Amino acid sequence: MIKALTISKISSMIPKKFKYFIALVEEDAELIEVVLRNGFYNSDAETVWVFSKERYERSEYTLNQIKEDLICWLDSVKPIEV
């Protein structure tokens, strides 16, 4: 049986060098979200990384694949230039 995807699992995947950019990690019954602090966005102009728990529960993604996706997303975060 696949264990639940939780805030603590996602939070533990975030390398220290990216923690400064993160405002919060939150979840509801269906999603996990990593929200950037005000003043930051990624290369696609996004401020929230969203992952469907169902995709993990249906074994479409492994924890390693989720971590790779999250780190790739965080790797393109930059400050908003005024």
What's the pLDDT tens digit per position in 65-78? 999 999 999 999 99
* pLDDT confidence of residue 2: 62
* pLDDT confidence of residue 1: 56
Long-range CB contacts for residues 16-22, cutoff 8 Å, separation at least 24: 18/71, 18/74, 18/75, 18/77, 21/74, 21/77
The residue among 2 and 56 whose pLDDT is bigger is 56
pLDDT, tens digit (0-9, with 9 covering 90-100), for 24-72:
999 999 999 999 999 999 989 999 999 999 999 999 999 999 999 999 9
